[in-house]
Amino acid sequence: MRILLDSHVFVWVKCAPENLSDEARAAIINPANEVFVSLASAWELWLKHSRNPVAGIAFVLDRGAPAFADAVRESGIVLLEISLEHAATAAKLPPIHRDPFDRMLIAQAIVEKFTIVTADPAFKRYPGLRVLKA
């Protein structure tokens, strides 16, 4: 399975894995699965962090891009770039979710045929999106 982590799920993976459901945790640590985090999540986390420190991962965000890349790599996660196809797909999504970062993650999951791990119930309303409850 190819898995895309929602931004808050990446934070949980790094510093609060007890917040994950047993099913999500098992899928994320299963070596047969590929796990991704989007550049959109990095951008979202830095924006949030600039207003209020993001608990648990502030030490990574404070140290910049190389530290974020290291945190991703050391967890066996792959950093997912944003493509033009992702952007075009995000623009065409129905207006179920207004958050542009979530819309990008949804588009990436649809285009790349990922299962997205999230605690956000709105994601389940998108047709064709595979969702695993965080």
**CB distance 116 to 109 below 8 Å:** yes
Question: What pLDDT is recorded for position 25?
Answer: 98
Q: What is the pLDDT of residues 25-81, one digit of tens each?
A: 999 999 999 999 999 999 999 999 999 999 889 999 999 999 999 999 999 999 999
Share of the chain above pLDDT 70, in %: 100
Backbone angles phi, psi at 122, to 5 degrees: -65, -25
Residue 53 has a CB neighbour count (10 Å cut-off) of 13
Question: What pLDDT is recorded for position 61?
Answer: 97
DSSP reduced 3-state for 16: coil
Q: How far apart are CA 102 and CA 124, in angstroms?
A: 12
